[in-house]
């Protein structure tokens, strides 16, 4: 069955439009409470990022859950991976995060974690959707859920983050700039690195409800680049609004994206004998990552775009390292979900253990030139059924041979067809993507976005 409300990462929308009203979120809380309460007795944790609408939706969720007879524990502003961790360690029946991740403040979202700290299955999400469409009925007053606030949540999570690197690790002598995106990590990420001994310069750590992800964080890396150079820091860490993504910057100002972070972590695990199985990326992962891993003797597998699919493959094969170019990194030997702080710590630990710089570590992987052109279309189409387009793709692949690859996919969130080519020859990449994009544009009667 197709879902009506849930997407690949919970439910997301613009505040006040369509789904994202207090009325809908209260009904969602009630529906989730009805489903989750059948799976065992326990509380539901609620965390949120720093956007102003989080207060409104926190109250709405609390009301809905209480009306279903479920107890609630409120965490306040807390990174998404922290909610996943606390859900498991506090024996909650589920965790809820109110966040739209890297989106602007006027968007918001709701995502759920199971009692094991993993994302809910499709089956449970469908059960919640079925309840949403029913008439809301409040339990008797003596059965209403109670709410309380957890006051030591941030301290618990800080200790988890520090526990993911060796206890002997000391960052004394390192100057690190931490960009918190004015989001949920503002009171946590700087303290994690500071407590490990680093000299920390914190930026975008003063949220006001409206400035989350605004010109800062992992989607606006130029803010961190400037700060690293200005403070003559050893490296920089940029998180997104809910703390599940990370992009880094070395002392020269060069950006280290998710693919390079995955490479550094995988190489580190291999060096210390902790890596079993393959590394998982997506169709968007740079060809350079695949080549570099193969040079280490490591297998690499691609899945569809989305951390949900990376997680699925890792769990199916009992592997531990994977992620996306955007900086959503999974280290399942350390935590149950993507965690920006934990991923950054693994990289910093490798800098210290190898007594080298982040610049040197990332230089061991050579990224291949990559170019994408988006074609805006009026309605969704099956591009695999268009013989002209498929013939053009085949021709491009033949010309690229083993030195490059072609990716043609329809966006899951926008009316776009993405045409991407990467390879080892920059001029060829640009030439081939222009040729293919023109054919796609003509065949689909679209226009270059």
Residue 96: Cβ within 10 Å count: 29
Active site residue 101: yes
User: Contact at 8 Å (CB) between 445 and 398?
Assistant: no
What are 95's strand-pairing partners? Answer: 45, 113
Q: Which two tokens stand for residue 95?
A: 């965790």
State the first-to-last Cα distance of the chain, in angstroms, to the nearest integer.
32
* b/e code 313-322 from CB counts within 10 Å (16+ = b): bbeeeebbbb
Please state, in angstroms and rounded to a whole number, the distance separating the CA atoms of residues 116 and 216: 32
User: Contact at 8 Å (CB) between 429 and 422?
Assistant: yes
* b/e code 102-126 from CB counts within 10 Å (16+ = b): bbebebbbbbbbbbebbbbeeebbb
Half-sphere exposure of 272 (CA within 13 A, CB side): 13
CA distances from residue 197 to 152, 168, 188, 200, 267 in whole angstroms, order as listed: 22, 11, 15, 9, 25
Q: Identify which of 181, 207, 200 has the alpha carbon closest to the alpha carbon of residue 101.
A: 181
The single residue of 66, 99, 101, 268 carrying the catalytic annotation is 101
Which residues are known catalytic residues?
101
């Amino acid at each position: 069955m197709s879902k009506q409300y849930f997407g690949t990462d919970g439910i997301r929308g613009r505040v006040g439009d369509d789904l994202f009203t207090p009325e809908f979120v209260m009904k969602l809380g009630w529906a989730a409470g009805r489903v989750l309460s059948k799976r065992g007795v326990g509380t539901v944790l609620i965390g949120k990022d720093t956007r102003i609408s989080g207060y409104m939706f926190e109250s709405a969720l609390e009301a809905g859950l209480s009306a279903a007879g479920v107890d609630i524990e409120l965490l306040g502003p807390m990174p998404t991976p922290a909610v996943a961790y606390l859900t498991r360690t506090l024996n909650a029946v589920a965790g809820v995060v109110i966040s739209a991740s890297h989106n602007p403040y006027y968007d918001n979202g709701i995502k759920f974690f199971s009692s094991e700290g993993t994302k809910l299955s499709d089956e449970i999400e469908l059960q919640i959707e079925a309840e949403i469409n029913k008439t809301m009925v409040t339990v008797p007053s003596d059965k209403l859920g109670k709410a309380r606030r957890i006051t030591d949540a941030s301290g618990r999570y800080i200790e988890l983050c520090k526990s993911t690197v060796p206890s002997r690790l000391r960052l004394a002598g390192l100057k690190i700039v931490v960009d918190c995106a004015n989001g949920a990590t503002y009171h946590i990420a700087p303290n994690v690195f500071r407590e490990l001994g680093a000299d920390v310069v914190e930026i975008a750590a003063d949220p006001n409800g409206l400035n989350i992800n605004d010109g800062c964080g992992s989607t606006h890396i130029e803010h961190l680049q400037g700060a690293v150079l200005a403070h003559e820091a050893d490296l920089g860490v940029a998180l997104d609004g809910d703390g599940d993504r990370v992009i880094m910057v070395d002392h020269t100002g060069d950006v280290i994206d998710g693919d390079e972070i995955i490479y550094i972590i995988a190489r580190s695990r291999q060096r210390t004998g902790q890596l079993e199985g393959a590394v998982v990326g997506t169709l968007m992962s740079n060809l350079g990552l695949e080549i570099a891993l193969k040079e280490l003797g490591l297998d690499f597998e691609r899945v569809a775009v989305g951390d949900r699919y990376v997680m699925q493959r890792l769990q199916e094969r009992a592997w531990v390292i994977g992620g996306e170019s955007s900086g959503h990194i999974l280290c399942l030997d350390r935590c149950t979900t993507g965690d920006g702080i934990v991923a950054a710590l693994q990289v910093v630990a490798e800098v210290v253990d190898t007594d080298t710089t982040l610049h040197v570590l990332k230089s061991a992987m050579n990224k291949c030139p990559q170019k994408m052109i988006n074609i805006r279309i009026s309605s969704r189409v099956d591009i695999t059924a268009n013989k002209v387009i498929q013939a053009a793709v085949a021709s491009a692949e033949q010309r690229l041979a083993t030195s490059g690859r072609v990716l043609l996919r329809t966006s899951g969130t926008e009316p776009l067809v993405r045409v991407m080519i990467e390879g080892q020859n920059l001029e060829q990449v640009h030439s081939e993507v222009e040729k293919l994009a023109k054919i796609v544009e003509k065949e689909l009667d679209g226009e270059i976005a």
